[in-house]
């Protein structure tokens, strides 16, 4: 049966006398795009450090890079959609203001398919982006000579019959880009490309470092250090090959190569890896990964945490202010403060969920204000998505965490962290010590299977 779409309509007597821009809903809908990180300095940005356990990427990652006499390699993690990309773009600006030339890229946009990502994919992506960003200040000759020496093995994989030596420099660079593009776009070539390149990764790193040394000697005025930020590696899907996983292959088995580029490095890492039994190995290699927690909207006792709720409302308010600064958030955008509060609390302090819920509620609205019914319908739809994400044996695990506010270091829990059914929160206690706790996503609370699992425990 086709699903009836509920919309928010008002009778003439209920409508405000204010004249609204007929395109206002269109503009509001676009303002809550959940998949675009905010650039540094964006007026819509909200500083949530105080309600995220004092997490500060500029101090915890950026300051270490600024103070270090040698290259650093650090890991950054958190739930997908928590706001990591926005924070990394802030870090990029922070570093640039301190004489760092920064190459930032999101690894999944053009280069890597995360369903089966491996280390070779990351190395090729780094090479392509470094060539793209630095070719004007450094000679790409070492890398092109490396490619030339292996062209007979690789030209079929780049799907070109052209002889490498006959090409100009720009066209040679294009051939390298074709190779990395095929790694993503042509699944049947992917494993062949990896096998051909993998045996030469040591020499590729060597020539890439020659290129980087040249680049560092010719940085534009005002820059004296080079940094690379590789974003979205936290989206890698866990793949097991016997007893090993692709997470271990990338971040542990290949750690020396991952750290070998002659510049400062930041990689994002899946949160389930940070909370795995290999966490101490990560720490020994990279130092402590920084984790971006949720905005804390509830306390350990389940009470509303007003400072966190205020911050979540501010996220919505700043986006609305860019479109309609004259409208009241709790009367003319939403039909009541209770409707707004419910939407904010149901996000769990997860920024992307907040934007998704708001955008869905706007999409169910024909005329402002957004009604309680539209918000309820958006919540119900999202709740059903979370219900389908939970396997039958996991309801009891979620029930346990909802009562204990802790997780056990076991792969049964890691997958629930990865798919955001479990969320991490932090706060500073009265002694200034950071405390970490976990809870289920609020959308799960009203799911019958979860309620039954809680009843069994009680």
Tokens describing residue 105: 């890229």
Measured between alpha carbons, how far apart are the two ends of the chain, in Å?
38
- Mean pLDDT of all residues in 334-343: 98
- What is the Cα–Cα distance from 325 to 54, expressed in whole angstroms? 30
Token pair of 154, please? 């690789």
Residue 118 has pLDDT above 50, yes or no: yes
Give the pLDDT score at 457: 92
Of the two residues 339 and 279, the one the predictor is more confident about is 339
Please give the pLDDT value at position 299.
95
- Owner of token pair 């003439």: 12
Residue that the structure tokens 């303002």 belong to: 31
What per-residue confidence (pLDDT) applies to 2? 41
Interatomic CA distance for residues 440 and 424, integer angstroms: 9
Q: Where are the alpha helices (DSSP H) in 348-443?
A: 351-363, 372-389, 395-404, 411-418
Segment (H or E) for 207: helix 201-217
pLDDT > 60? residue 4: no
Q: Considering the chain, what percentage of its residues have pLDDT values greater than 90?
A: 73
pLDDT tens digits along 234-284: 999 888 887 788 999 999 999 999 999 999 999 999 998 998 888 899 999
CA distances from 175 to 105, 127, 157, 228, 446 (A): 20, 13, 10, 23, 54
Confidence band of 10 (pLDDT split at 50, 70, 90): very low
| Average pLDDT of span 346-364 | 97
pLDDT digits (tens, 9 = 90+) for 308-331: 999 999 999 999 999 999 999 999
Q: Which of 261, 373, 446 is nearest to 6 (CA)?
A: 373
pLDDT of residue 175: 74
CB 257 within 8 A of CB 123: yes
Mutual orientation of helices 395-404 and 411-418 as an angle, nearest 10°? 90
Closest CA to 368 of 340, 343, 333, 338: 333
User: What pLDDT is stored for residue 408 in this prediction?
Assistant: 82
Mean of pLDDT values over 369-377: 98
Rg, Å, the chain Cα set = 25
Mean pLDDT of 102-116: 88
By DSSP bridging, strand 225-231 and strand 100-106 are parallel
pLDDT at 410: 77
Q: What share of the chain is helix, strand, coil (3-state, %, to 5)?
A: 55, 10, 35
Mean pLDDT of all residues belonging to the chain: 90
pLDDT in tens, 153-174: 776 666 555 555 655 677 777 7
Q: Give the burial class of 137: count Cβ atoms within 10 A of its Cβ; 0-12 exposed, 13-18 middle, 19 or more buried.
A: middle
SS3 433: coil
Residue 13 confidence (pLDDT)? 39
pLDDT at 242: 79
């Amino acid at each position: 049966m086709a699903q009836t779409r509920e919309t928010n309509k008002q009778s003439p007597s209920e409508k405000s006398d204010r004249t609204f821009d007929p395109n206002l809903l269109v503009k509001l809908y676009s303002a809550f795009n959940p998949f675009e990180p905010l650039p540094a300095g964006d007026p819509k940005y909200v500083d949530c450090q105080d309600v995220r356990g004092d997490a500060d990427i500029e101090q915890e990652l950026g300051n270490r890079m600024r103070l270090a006499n040698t290259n650093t390699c650090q890991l950054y993690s958190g739930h997908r959609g928590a706001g990591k990309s926005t924070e990394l773009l802030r870090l990029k600006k922070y570093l640039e203001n301190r004489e760092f030339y920064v190459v930032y890229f999101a690894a999944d946009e053009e280069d890597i398919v995360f369903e089966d990502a491996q280390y070779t994919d990351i190395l090729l992506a780094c090479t392509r982006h470094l060539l793209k960003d630095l070719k004007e200040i450094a000679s790409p000759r070492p890398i092109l000579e490396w490619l030339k020496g292996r062209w007979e093995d690789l030209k079929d994989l780049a799907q070109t019959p052209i002889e490498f030596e006959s090409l100009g420099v720009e066209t040679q660079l294009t051939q390298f880009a074709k190779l990395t593009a095929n790694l993503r776009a042509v699944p049947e070539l992917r494993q062949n490309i990896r096998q051909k390149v993998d045996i030469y990764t040591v020499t590729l790193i060597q020539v890439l470092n020659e290129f980087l040394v040249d680049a560092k000697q010719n940085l534009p005025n005002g820059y004296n250090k080079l940094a690379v930020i590789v974003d979205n590696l936290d989206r890698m899907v866990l793949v097991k090959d016997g007893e090993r996983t692709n997470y271990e292959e990338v971040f542990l088995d290949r750690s020396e190569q991952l750290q070998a580029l002659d510049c400062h490095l930041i990689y994002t890492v899946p949160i389930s890896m940070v909370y795995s039994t290999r966490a101490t190995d990560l720490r020994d290699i990279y130092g402590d990964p920084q984790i971006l927690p949720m905005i804390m909207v509830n306390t350990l006792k389940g009470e509303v945490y007003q400072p966190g709720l205020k911050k979540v409302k501010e996220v919505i308010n700043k986006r609305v202010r860019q479109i309609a600064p004259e409208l009241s958030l709790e009367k003319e955008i939403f039909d009541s403060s209770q409707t707004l509060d419910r939407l904010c609390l149901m996000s769990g302090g997860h920024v992307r969920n907040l934007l998704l819920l708001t955008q869905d509620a706007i999409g169910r609205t024909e005329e402002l204000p957004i009604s309680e019914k539209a918000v309820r319908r958006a919540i119900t739809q999202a709740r059903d998505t979370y219900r389908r994400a939970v396997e039958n044996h996991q309801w009891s695990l979620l029930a346990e965490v909802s009562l204990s506010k802790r997780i056990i270091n076991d792969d049964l829990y890691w997958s629930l962290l990865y798919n955001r059914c479990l969320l991490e929160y932090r706060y500073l206690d009265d002694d200034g010590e950071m405390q970490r706790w976990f809870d289920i996503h609020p959308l799960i609370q009203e799911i019958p299977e979860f309620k039954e699992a809680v009843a069994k425990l009680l």
